[in-house]
A and B are shown apart, each in its own frame.
Chain A
Amino acid sequence: MSEIVMDRITKRFADGFEAVKNMDLEVGDGEFMILVGPSGCGKSTALRMIAGLEDITDGQLRIGDEVVNEIAPKDRDIAMVFQNYALYPHMSVRDNMAFPLKLAKAPQEEIDRKVEEAARILDLTQHLDRRPANLSGGQRQRVAMGRAIVRDPKAFLMDEPLSNLDAKLRVQMRTEVSRIQSRLGTTTVYVTHDQTEAMTLGDRVAVMRTGVLQQVGSPAELYENPVNLFVAGFIGSPSMNFLPGELSGDRVKTALGELRLPDQARAGVGGDGGGRPVIVGIRPESFEDASLVGGDTRERGMTFTAKIDLVEQLGAEQYAYFQLEGEGVQSDELRELAEDAGGEDVPSSGEGQVVARLEAASGIKRGAEAELWLDLAKLHLFDPSSGKNLARS
């Protein structure tokens, strides 16, 4: 009854910049949809158009069968949680949460009942008479949630609601948000730049880049079947390793050696593709310490030796970094990802460094030559010029 449909929506600003280009997205009733992408990809603009805070230049927006392009935010019956919470500093927590109900001229006893109930759900009961300035970040965030849920709106819109919290609290609130959404069953559109949040929260995830929707799908689908280099590099942490390669029959030549293509990829490439350059994508967990891989599984892959530069011990698992011969992969999409992420999410696109996720039991040491195993069934192949995933086409 209250699905949100974006039908070829475009946002062009006064200076001619197109923040969102021809976006098609359907959010089902009760669905938790995540819009994710690096900063400046247009995800917040898309959300603000749904809220009515930005005009829609072109296309049609429907909320529950009603075209809302020209409808003011207040009449759209949606609730929004802002990145900085946007709590009214001159009102108590109770008044903040009651504000939308008061504007809707709800009877006082209903206001009291709903505010008390929301406060109970969010564990805010003892803070109802305090001012936002006297609350901690996590509490403020919950008040902002409370203000959204008291109204029982058609949809929740959340604009990076957790990005101002510290890491530990963020994980905690992530579970909280997920719990509340499934309890209320309200259609939700959630914007984030954090792919971990996107993967853990959403029923479906929509990945955006420079105003263009790249792929919409369940977290598992995005992870296992990314449509292009950008999605492949953006989803997953540590991110996918990319190596330049050259097709030759049913094999691909890379710095790791000649790799046998998985069936799906071979079908996608078609023909023998002799000499065609490709980009090979390998998830860190597709590697394993060869000594820990049993006989049967071992058949599926190939083994090679590498000199380990660095080992990161995380307890349950460890990351081993090693260097490969030759040039890294050159691609606009990957460069953009690297620029945006800065730090842990940088895909190994530049210098040919590869990260492998190994079991904690592995005894591989830094600086040592180690024998590693690679699962060939999990290879991804991308076209270097278009960035498209060859196995999907």
Chain B
Amino acid sequence: MERGTREYALWSIAMLLVLAFAMIPVLWIISVSLKDPATITEGTNLGNTFIPQDITFDNYTTLFEGGLDNSPFIKPLINSILIALISTAIAIVLAAFAAYAIARLDFPGKALILAGALAIAMFPAISTVGPLFDMWRALGLYDTYPGLIIPYLTFALPLAIYTLVAFFREIPWDLEQAAQVDGATPFQAFRKVIVPLAAPGVFTAAILVFIFAWNDFLFAISLTSSDASRTVPAALAFFTGESQFTEPTGNIAAAAVIVTVPIIVFVLFFQRRIVAGLTAGAVKG
């Protein structure tokens, strides 16, 4: 008993440390976003620096001032949502077919495809940015939605394929054959039996791809030049203060909170599924 209690205490301390390490930046950003920009640097001790003395939502409201045309935030937010959703949808559909073929069929070059997908996922993104910039300008894709969606797909597809292959491998072959004997075409068997069963996997893959696209800064800052396609992470860098001498720290913090909260909620809500998805195939052969 004695040892159990001590172990428990040590584990608790370790977890609190990790939690603090992860949460303090988030809490700090929230704190900054709630302060009047003029008072951000004030405060004499940790207590009144960390905890805002006068809570104000001005930083949030100014983000949305000026409506769609003049707000620096609304259009990028829309861009972010649409680009992430479109990337996710395309990646999941393509990855589902690819993963199904890899899990179910024996075809020449299967190992090559998997290895290729893995290699692409490991490729340093920064080294593709330069060529893409030139190519996109020549092709007219620079500063457009497809201009961002295509590079996101290259990096998201391997991730999605690997996740889905693990899931499809778990589904017994017999189910599909049972469906075929029951009168289903191969596509009906896929759609009515396999996809619903792989739903948790599809979901996991979708969340991972969405977060990847949502968080990306590198491609967004390099391949966009205006609000036509600039996403939030890139747009934050272009925020301006009230005058050229004030930093837009408060607004940036507020915007950061707005784009972070949906992801946190998302992940908290689906964390069981994500964990299940990431470990699928790891335990059962």
Contacts and interface: CB of A to CB of B under 8 A. Distances in A.
Interface of A: 51-53, 72-74, 78-80, 82-84, 86, 88-90, 99-100, 103-104, 147, 151, 157
Contacts of B178: 80, 82, 86, 88, 147
Q: Which 5 A-B pairs have the closest CB atoms?
A: A86-B178, A100-B182, A86-B174, A103-B183, A73-B180
B99 to A, nearest CB: 19
B193 interface: yes
Contacts of B260: none
Interface residues of B, number: 18
A384 B269 CA distance: 72
A163 to B, nearest CB: 14
Contacts of A51: 177, 181
Given A82-B174, A103-B188, A88 B181 contact: no
Nearest to B197: A90
Given A53-B180, A72-B180, A74-B180, A86 B185 contact: no
Contact of B172 (A53, A79, A86, A147): A86
Contacts of B182: 74, 79, 99-100, 103, 147, 151
B214 to A, nearest CB: 30
B175 to A, nearest CB: 5
A104 B179 CA distance: 12
A72 B181 CA distance: 9
B256 interface: no
A74 B181 contact: yes
Given A72-B180, A90-B197, A99-B179, A84 B185 contact: no
A377 B65 CA distance: 107
A246 B3 CA distance: 77
22 contacts: A51-B177, A51-B181, A52-B180, A53-B177, A53-B180, A72-B185, A73-B177, A73-B181, A74-B183, A74-B184, A79-B181, A82-B174, A82-B178, A86-B174, A88-B175, A88-B179, A89-B197, A90-B196, A99-B179, A100-B182, A151-B183, A157-B181
Contacts of B196: 90
Interface of B: 172, 174-175, 177-185, 188, 192-193, 196-197, 199
Given A82-B174, A90-B197, A103 B184 contact: yes
Contacts of B193: 88
A83 B188 CA distance: 23
A73 B178 CA distance: 10
Nearest to A75: B183
B182 to A, nearest CB: 4
Contacts of A73: 177, 180-181
Contacts of A100: 182-183
A74 B197 contact: no
Contacts of A151: 182-183
Given A74-B184, A80-B181, 14 more contacts: A51-B177, A52-B180, A53-B180, A74-B181, A79-B181, A82-B174, A83-B174, A84-B172, A84-B174, A86-B174, A88-B178, A88-B179, A88-B197, A99-B192
A88 B182 CA distance: 12
A125 B242 CA distance: 73
A349 B214 CA distance: 72
Contacts of A83: 174
A89 B170 CA distance: 13
A199 to B, nearest CB: 27
Contacts of B184: 74, 103
Contacts of A86: 172, 174-175, 177-178
A90 B193 CA distance: 8
Contacts of A79: 181-182
A74 B175 contact: no
A90 to B, nearest CB: 5
Contacts of B175: 86, 88
A88 B198 CA distance: 12
Contacts of A80: 177-178, 181
B108 to A, nearest CB: 12
A58 to B, nearest CB: 22
A79 B184 CA distance: 12
Nearest to A159: B174
Nearest to A76: B181
A372 B184 CA distance: 62
Contacts of A74: 180-185
Contacts of A72: 180, 185
